[in-house]
Each structure stands twice: as structure tokens, then as C-alpha cells.
């Protein structure tokens, strides 16, 4: 009996040692895949946008991403250019990603028949229009910049809020007051603040993903109420980055220690792609760009 108890004790202690060792070996560093503005449709090129090419470009990117050990991949909005049927060409390619995958809503994702707008989320495997993910001591906040917009406000309440913000901004007529941009509702901003508070309490670092920029060298593509979001971010030292698409030319600026990185659009140019892997280490964000996307090393606070 004594011997059996001793064996049991030995098994328990071996098990607990192993789990402790596993915790110690858990890598702090992890990598994700990032694609912006795949913007596929079976359409002829317009300007620098080669819509049909996005099918093979997305497949190529997925093949490369599937060869790597990724925490997840994220598409930063405008998965299609227009027509609901466009999803049927690119969604199966995206869904073949082995790691977890997430979508951010872009303005073009709503360029479908009005009767189909309410099933766009389902088609993109989204349970909520905006949401958060907690991974390895990071809180990633995924925004919906179409919450208030001419194309994506789907309830009467949101349409009214859209009209009032549009009217209010019309008085000063800023360069970003265009119908292909959008804004964050009061409800979403309150939710963002709640997420930031949680991150602060849990000692987590915070990164934002949105289709629309909140800050950059030019303002034309910015969220309508980007100033409200920046004022909120300014109160939280835990915010480290803001990743977006929408402006296909891309760009990078730093503001109060926060990295604002606009990824280039995959759909642009006749013969080159654009996407990235992003490695999060203890003290840096390392962007490994493919095609037109530049590689960068961004220091964390």
C-alpha cells in the first residue's frame, strides 16, 4: 500500500514538474500573417487595381503563410471589391489557412446588393462586427470603421448617427469626409474604452486592427472621428500599435510612441503582390514584408 502511494506521489510530482517546465518553455515570441485589401472581383483593371489578379495573389500568400508556424492571420478589410459572388472565389482560399484567421470589415465588403448586406458577416465568419482577441499577453482590438457609414450602417439608429456625424463634420468639411470612409459609433467607442481598461488591469499590451487609418501623413482615408479615437488611445500607455489598410499606398508614422502602420493593398499593380508576416517579440514588432510591403523593426515602449 505504502509502495503504491509512493508511486502515485512520484507520478504526480513528475506531472507537475513537466507542466511547470512547459510553462517556462512557452515562447514569448509569436508570428501572425497580415494581408490588406485583397479586393477581388471578376472585373477588368481600373487604374492600378488589378482585381482578377487577387485570386492567384491570395493563393500565393496563403501557400507561404501555411508554410509557417503562425498564431493567426488577419485580413484588414476590403476582401472583395464588389458583388456578393466575389466572396465565393476568395473565401475558400482564405479558409484553407491552417492557423486561425480573422477578418476586419472594409467599405468594399459592403459593395453588395442591399438585401445581402446583413449576411456579409456570416460570409466572412464574423460573429460580431468588432471584437477582441487575447493572445500571449496582448489584447488585439478589431474595430469596425463602417459602423457609421453610408454603406455599412444597417440599423435605423446607426443610419441616424451616420447622418448626424456627417452633418456635423460638413461644417468644417475635413478631407476625410468622403462617403467611402466611415466612423465609430458611441457604443463602439465605449466598448473600446472598456477593452483598454481591461488591458490596463491585466497588464496586457494593446494593438488595434482597423480597415481605416486613424493617423498618417495624409488624412483623406482616416476614420471620420479619428480624433475621438486618438484622444482615447492617448490615455492608455498600453497601446503599442494600430494596423490598417484602405490607403493602398501604405505608410508608417509614429505618434506618442504608438506605431501607425498602413499595409499596402494586395490588389494594386499589374505584377507584384503585397502582404506580410509580423513577429511579436519581447521588445519589438518585426514586420517581414513580401512584394511591395517593406520590412520594418518597430520598438515596443
- Cα-flanking dihedrals φ and ψ of residue 45, to 5°? -60, 150
- Cα-flanking dihedrals φ and ψ of residue 161, to 5°? -65, -40
Residue (138 or 209) nearer to Zn ion, CB: 209
How many distinct helices (H) and strands (E) make up the chain?
Answer: 7, 12
Q: What's the closest the beta carbon of residue 38 comes to Zn ion, in angstroms?
A: 11
Q: What's the closest the beta carbon of residue 242 comes to Zn ion, in angstroms?
A: 16
Q: What's the closest the beta carbon of residue 248 comes to Zn ion, in angstroms?
A: 8
Residue (33 or 77) nearer to Zn ion, CB: 77
Kind of pairing, strands 138-142 and 205-210? parallel
Q: What's the closest the beta carbon of residue 263 comes to Zn ion, in angstroms?
A: 12
Residue (199 or 210) nearer to Zn ion, CB: 210
Residue (211 or 259) nearer to Zn ion, CB: 211
Residue (29 or 219) nearer to Zn ion, CB: 219
Give me 128's grid cell.
460580431
Rounded Cα distance, 300 and 206, in Å: 11
Task: Give how far Cα 82 sits from Cα of 6, 109, 162, Å.
Answer: 68, 7, 22
Sole residue written with cell 475621438: 228
Sheet strands side by side (includes 251-255)? 131-135, 138-142, 205-210, 239-244, 258-262, 251-255
Residue (39 or 73) nearer to Zn ion, CB: 39
Q: What's the closest the beta carbon of residue 108 comes to Zn ion, in angstroms?
A: 6
Q: What's the closest the beta carbon of residue 151 comes to Zn ion, in angstroms?
A: 10
Residue (78 or 240) nearer to Zn ion, CB: 78
- Residues contributing to the site for Zn ion (CB under 5 A): 78, 106-107, 246
- Cα-flanking dihedrals φ and ψ of residue 210, to 5°? -150, 155
In this structure, the number of other CB atoms found within 10 A of the CB of residue 102 comes to 18
Per DSSP, what are the bridge partners of residue 244?
A: 210, 262
Query: Strand, coil or helix: what is 144?
Result: coil
Q: What's the closest the beta carbon of residue 53 comes to Zn ion, in angstroms?
A: 18
Amino acid at each position: 500500500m505504502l509502495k503504491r502511494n509512493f508511486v502515485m506521489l512520484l507520478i504526480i510530482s513528475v506531472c507537475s514538474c513537466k507542466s511547470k517546465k512547459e510553462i517556462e518553455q512557452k515562447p514569448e515570441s509569436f508570428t501572425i500573417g497580415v494581408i490588406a485589401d485583397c479586393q477581388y472581383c471578376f472585373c477588368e483593371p481600373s487604374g492600378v487595381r488589378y482585381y482578377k489578379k487577387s485570386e492567384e495573389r491570395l493563393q500565393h500568400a496563403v501557400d507561404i503563410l501555411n508554410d509557417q508556424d503562425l498564431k493567426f492571420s488577419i485580413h484588414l478589410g476590403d476582401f472583395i471589391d464588389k458583388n456578393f459572388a466575389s466572396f465565393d472565389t476568395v473565401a475558400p482560399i482564405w479558409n484553407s489557412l491552417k492557423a486561425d484567421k480573422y477578418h476586419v470589415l472594409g467599405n468594399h465588403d459592403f459593395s453588395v446588393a442591399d438585401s445581402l448586406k446583413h449576411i456579409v458577416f456570416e460570409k466572412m465568419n464574423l460573429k460580431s462586427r468588432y471584437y477582441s482577441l487575447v493572445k500571449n499577453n496582448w489584447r488585439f482590438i478589431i474595430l469596425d470603421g463602417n459602423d457609421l457609414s453610408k454603406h455599412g450602417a444597417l440599423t435605423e439608429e446607426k443610419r441616424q448617427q451616420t447622418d448626424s456625424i456627417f452633418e456635423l463634420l460638413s461644417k468644417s468639411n475635413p478631407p476625410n469626409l468622403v462617403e467611402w470612409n466611415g466612423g465609430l459609433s458611441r457604443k463602439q467607442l465605449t466598448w473600446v474604452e472598456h477593452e483598454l481598461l481591461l488591458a490596463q488591469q491585466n497588464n496586457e499590451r494593446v494593438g488595434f486592427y482597423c480597415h481605416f487609418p486613424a493617423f498618417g501623413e495624409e488624412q483623406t482615408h482616416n476614420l471620420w472621428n479619428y480624433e475621438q479615437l486618438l484622444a482615447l488611445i492617448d490615455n492608455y500607455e498600453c497601446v503599442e500599435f494600430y494596423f490598417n489598410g484602405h490607403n493602398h499606398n501604405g505608410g508608417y508614422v509614429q505618434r506618442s510612441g504608438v506605431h501607425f502602420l498602413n499595409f499596402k493593398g494586395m490588389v494594386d499593380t499589374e505584377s507584384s503582390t503585397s502582404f506580410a508576416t509580423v513577429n511579436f517579440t519581447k521588445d519589438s514588432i518585426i514586420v517581414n514584408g513580401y512584394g511591395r510591403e517593406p520590412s520594418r523593426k518597430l520598438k515596443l515602449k
